[in-house]
Amino acid sequence: MKNFKEWICAAGVRAIKTFAQTAASLITVGSFISDIEWSLVFSAATVAAIYSLLTSIAGLPELNDKVIEEGEEK
Protein backbone atom coordinates (compact mmCIF):
# COMPACT_ATOMS: atom_id res chain seq x y z
CA MET A 1 0.00 0.00 0.00
CA LYS A 2 2.93 2.34 0.70
CA ASN A 3 4.19 1.94 -2.88
CA PHE A 4 0.73 2.80 -4.22
CA LYS A 5 0.61 5.99 -2.14
CA GLU A 6 4.06 6.98 -3.40
CA TRP A 7 2.98 6.26 -6.96
CA ILE A 8 -0.21 8.33 -6.62
CA CYS A 9 1.78 11.23 -5.17
CA ALA A 10 4.47 11.12 -7.87
CA ALA A 11 1.95 10.64 -10.70
CA GLY A 12 -0.21 13.45 -9.31
CA VAL A 13 2.69 15.87 -9.14
CA ARG A 14 3.68 14.97 -12.69
CA ALA A 15 0.09 15.44 -13.93
CA ILE A 16 -0.21 18.84 -12.23
CA LYS A 17 3.06 19.98 -13.76
CA THR A 18 1.91 18.76 -17.18
CA PHE A 19 -1.41 20.61 -16.74
CA ALA A 20 0.39 23.85 -15.87
CA GLN A 21 2.92 23.55 -18.69
CA THR A 22 0.22 22.85 -21.25
CA ALA A 23 -1.93 25.75 -20.04
CA ALA A 24 1.07 28.08 -20.11
CA SER A 25 1.95 27.02 -23.64
CA LEU A 26 -1.56 27.79 -24.89
CA ILE A 27 -1.65 31.33 -23.49
CA THR A 28 -0.28 33.52 -26.22
CA VAL A 29 2.26 36.11 -25.15
CA GLY A 30 1.00 39.63 -25.77
CA SER A 31 -2.67 38.71 -25.96
CA PHE A 32 -5.30 40.32 -23.80
CA ILE A 33 -6.77 38.17 -21.05
CA SER A 34 -10.22 38.66 -22.57
CA ASP A 35 -8.98 37.25 -25.90
CA ILE A 36 -7.90 33.91 -24.44
CA GLU A 37 -10.30 31.03 -24.96
CA TRP A 38 -10.14 29.68 -21.39
CA SER A 39 -12.37 26.70 -22.12
CA LEU A 40 -9.90 25.57 -24.79
CA VAL A 41 -6.92 26.11 -22.48
CA PHE A 42 -8.44 24.15 -19.59
CA SER A 43 -9.77 21.42 -21.86
CA ALA A 44 -6.41 20.82 -23.53
CA ALA A 45 -4.56 21.01 -20.22
CA THR A 46 -6.95 18.50 -18.64
CA VAL A 47 -6.46 16.07 -21.53
CA ALA A 48 -2.69 16.44 -21.14
CA ALA A 49 -2.93 15.75 -17.39
CA ILE A 50 -5.01 12.62 -18.00
CA TYR A 51 -2.53 11.47 -20.63
CA SER A 52 0.27 12.05 -18.10
CA LEU A 53 -1.50 9.85 -15.53
CA LEU A 54 -2.02 7.11 -18.10
CA THR A 55 1.62 7.13 -19.18
CA SER A 56 2.66 7.03 -15.53
CA ILE A 57 1.17 3.54 -15.35
CA ALA A 58 4.13 2.34 -17.43
CA GLY A 59 6.47 3.52 -14.70
CA LEU A 60 7.83 6.61 -13.04
CA PRO A 61 11.60 7.12 -13.27
CA GLU A 62 11.65 9.13 -10.05
CA LEU A 63 10.28 6.15 -8.12
CA ASN A 64 12.69 3.73 -9.81
CA ASP A 65 15.62 5.99 -8.82
CA LYS A 66 14.40 6.01 -5.22
CA VAL A 67 14.22 2.21 -5.14
CA ILE A 68 17.77 1.93 -6.50
CA GLU A 69 19.07 4.43 -3.92
CA GLU A 70 17.50 2.39 -1.11
CA GLY A 71 19.31 -0.71 -2.34
CA GLU A 72 16.18 -2.56 -3.41
CA GLU A 73 15.70 -4.26 -6.73
CA LYS A 74 13.23 -3.03 -9.32
Q: Is residue 58 part of a domain?
A: yes
How many domains are there within the chain? 1
pLDDT at position 65 = 60
| 12 within a domain of the structure (yes/no) | yes
Q: Which stretches does DSSP call E strand in the chain? A: none
pLDDT digits (tens, 9 = 90+) for 15-29: 999 999 999 999 887
Domain span including residue 40: 2-69
| 41 in any annotated domain | yes
Q: Is residue 74 in some structural domain?
A: no
CB of 13 within 8 A of CB of 70?
no
Cβ count near 15 (within 10 Å): 20
DSSP annotation of 57 reads T
φ/ψ (deg, to 5) at 72: -90, 160
For 32-57, write each residue's pLDDT tens digit. Answer: 888 999 999 999 999 999 999 999 88
Band of pLDDT at residue 68, cut at 50, 70 and 90: very low
Q: How many residues does the chain have?
A: 74
Q: What pTM did the predictor assign?
A: 0.76
